[in-house]
């Protein structure tokens, strides 16, 4: 399993860069991955999405779908695409230290 | 690594749930991967964006070998509605939304939706008959123009 240095921390990742051990995730790790993904600043709006996703992830073992995020009232689909441009579900999961979403929608 | 797909234009030409969903899932999936996506609805596929029909799209239980049952059962009154409701429930569980919500979702995801001019003329429809997410009614020439530089997928 590859180790990767994000910011100052070494974390275990899969070959696409998703953390394989959620417990290694920290807010600093998130900031560092976000930079790599082209998001210079994680705003309170980003954190709100990430925190909700992580809560779901802890409960269900996978990141929630875009539909679920929209229905939860945490973030609309439009806002989500604005916050995490170019593949929001995957990007947010990666930044939040979760494994890659498996669903088709 | 191979070049990534950057843009897809998907034609939805068939009505019925099995005609409409594959294209919607592919378009939404494209947006989820950061791929630019266009949806072009033609022929009975137009039902998916027609206000009075989009909420009532059913699965065909007659003449559909994929249903794995004799067609004679499919002609029973209410059978198509029953099969449709079963299928929608199953899909909802795996977070595949009903058609009207799905149209809203792909639109919010940044996919552009178009209606086919020839079909619109044939069925005597007007722009007002379509849901607000539809960008415009375009002819096939315009469709190719919009699709330039990307892949075209016909469903």
Q: How many whole angstroms separate alpha carbon B48 and alpha carbon A25? A: 42
* Å between A45 CA and nearest CA of chain B: 18
**If you average pLDDT over residues B46-56, what whole number do you get?**
95
| Residue A44 within a domain | yes
Q: Which of A67, A77, A86 sits opposite B34 (nearest CB)?
A: A86
**If you average pLDDT over residues A34-40, what whole number do you get?**
95
Looking at chain A, which residue has its C-alpha nearest residue B105? A77
**pLDDT tier, A1 (very low <50, low <70, confident <90, very high otherwise):** low
Is the pLDDT at A88 greater than 90? The verdict is yes
Q: How many whole angstroms separate alpha carbon A8 and alpha carbon B152? A: 45
| Residue A36 within a domain | yes
Chosen from B21, B36, B95 to mutate, greatest number of chain A CBs within 10 A? B95
Instruction: State the burial class of residue B25 (Cβ atoms within 10 Å of its Cβ: 0-12, 13-18, 19+).
Output: middle
| Residue A101 within a domain | no
Looking at chain A, which residue has its C-alpha nearest residue B27? A105
SS3 assignment, position B42 = coil
Q: Is B110 on the interface with A (CB under 8 A)?
A: yes
Both structure tokens of B46: 């137009």
Kindly report, residue by residue over B54-107, the tens digit of the pLDDT.
999 998 888 888 888 888 888 888 888 999 999 899 988 888 999 999 999 999
CATH assignment of B7-154, given 3.40.1260.10, 3.50.50.60, 3.40.50.720, 3.10.20.740? 3.40.1260.10
Q: Is A35 on the interface with B (CB under 8 A)?
A: no
Question: Could you tell me the residue ranges of all domains in chain B?
Answer: 7-154
Q: How many domains does chain A have?
A: 1
Domain extent, residue A17, equals 3-95
CA angle A55, A59, A62 (to 5 degrees): 85
pTM of the model: 0.91
* Å between B35 CA and nearest CA of chain A: 7
Instruction: Tell me what the pLDDT averaged over chain B comes to.
Output: 93
Q: What is the predicted pLDDT for the residue at B68?
A: 85
Q: What is the predicted pLDDT for the residue at B1?
A: 57
Q: Which of B25, B31, B101 sits opposite A104 (nearest CB)?
A: B25
B143-149 long-range CB contacts below 8 Å, 24 or more apart?
B143/B9, B143/B40, B143/B114, B143/B116, B146/B9, B146/B38, B146/B112, B146/B114, B147/B7, B147/B9, B147/B38, B149/B6, B149/B7
Q: B5, B67, B61: which is closest to B35 by C-alpha?
A: B5
**If you average pLDDT over residues A7-16, what whole number do you get?**
88
What ipTM is given for this predicted complex?
Answer: 0.90
């Amino acid at each position: 399993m590859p180790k990767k240095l994000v910011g100052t921390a070494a974390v275990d990742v899969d070959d696409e860069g998703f953390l394989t051990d959620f417990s290694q995730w920290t807010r600093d790790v998130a900031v560092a991955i976000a930079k790599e993904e082209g998001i210079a600043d994680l705003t309170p709006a980003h954190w709100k999405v990430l925190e909700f996703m992580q809560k779901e992830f802890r409960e269900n073992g996978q990141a929630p779908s875009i539909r679920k995020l929209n229905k939860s009232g945490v973030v609309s689909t439009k806002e989500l695409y604005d916050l995490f441009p170019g593949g929001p579900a995957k990007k947010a999961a990666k930044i939040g230290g979760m494994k890659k979403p498996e669903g088709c929608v | 690594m191979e070049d990534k797909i950057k843009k897809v234009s998907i034609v939805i030409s068939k009505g019925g749930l099995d005609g409409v969903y594959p294209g919607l899932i592919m378009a939404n999936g494209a947006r989820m991967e950061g791929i630019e996506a266009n949806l072009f609805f033609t022929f009975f596929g137009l039902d998916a964006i027609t206000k009075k029909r989009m909420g009532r799209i059913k699965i065909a239980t007659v003449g559909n070998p994929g249903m794995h049952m004799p067609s004679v059962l499919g002609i029973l009154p209410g059978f198509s509605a029953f099969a449709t409701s079963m299928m929608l429930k199953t899909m909802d569980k795996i977070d595949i939304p009903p058609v009207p919500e799905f149209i809203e979702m792909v639109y919010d995801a940044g996919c552009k939706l178009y209606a086919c001019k020839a079909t619109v003329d044939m069925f005597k429809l007007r722009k007002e008959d379509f849901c607000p997410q539809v960008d415009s009614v375009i002819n096939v020439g315009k469709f190719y123009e919009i699709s330039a530089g990307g892949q075209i997928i016909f469903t």
